[in-house]
Amino acid sequence: MEAFFQPIKLSLIVSSLALIIVFFLGISAAWLMARRKFKGKVLIETILLLPIVLPPTVIGFILIMLFGQNGILGKLTNFLFNQSLMFTIWAAVIAAVVVAFPLMYQSVKTGLTFVDRHIEDAARVDGSNEWNVFRYITFPLIQKSILSGVVLSFARALGEFGATLMFAGNIPGRTQTVPMAIYVAFESNRMTLAWAWVLSIIVVSFVMLIFIRKSA
C-alpha cells in the first residue's frame, strides 16, 4: 500500500514546491515585463515562453547540460552542497518549475494588461510606494488571472514526464512521480495498478478544480 501512495505523495510534493516557486517568479517576471520598457524585452520574453513549445526531452537535455557534472550550474551546486542535483527530488522540482513557469507568467501578464493604469497612478500620487500599489491595488485586480495561473501551473507540474525522466530519473521512492509510475505499470502490463494511479490523478485534479471554481 505504501508503494502505491509513494508516487502520489512525491508528485504532490514536487508540484506544490514547484508552484510556490513559480508563483513568486511568475508574478515578478510578469509585472516587470508588463510595467517596464527596456532593450531586449522581446527576446527575453521569447526565452521565458520557450518551454511551452519545446519538447520535454529538449528541456531535459538542456537541464542536464546546465546542472550535469560538467555544467556551469552543476559545478556550482557541487561546490556549494558537495553533491549533484541530478536524480534527486530537487531535479524533479526544477523540471516542473521550468515547464510550469510560462503558464503562470502568461496568465498574470494577461491580467496586468487589463488593469487600469490610471488607478495605479492615482495611488502613487497619493504617496503610495510601488509595493503598496501592487499589494493593495494591482494584486486584487488580477486575482482571477493569478488563480488561473495557479491551476494551470500546478496541473502542468503534476503531469510533467519527459524532462523529469531525463533530469531526475525514475527512482522509486525518490524521483518516481505518478506519470512515470503509470508508464512503468503500463509497460509491465500491470493495468489495474496503472488505472489506480490514473484515477488518483483524476481525483486530485477534479478536487482542485472544484475548489478553485468555488473560490473564484
Over residues 147-159, the pLDDT tens digits come to: 989 999 999 999 9
Cell numbers at residue 159, please? 503531469
Domain coordinates in residue numbering, the chain: 9-174
Q: Where are the beta strands (DSSP E) in the chain?
A: none
Q: Which fold has domain 9-174?
A: MetI-like fold (1.10.3720)
Over residues 66-76, the pLDDT tens digits come to: 998 888 998 88
Enumerate residue ranges in the chain where pLDDT < 50: none
Alpha helices in the chain (DSSP H): 2-35, 41-53, 56-67, 72-81, 89-113, 117-125, 130-133, 139-141, 143-159, 162-167, 178-187, 191-215
Cell numbers at residue 66, please? 546546465
Phi/psi of residue 74, nearest 5 degrees: -65, -40
pLDDT at position 215 = 61
- Answering whether pTM is above 0.85, one says yes
pLDDT at position 129 = 84
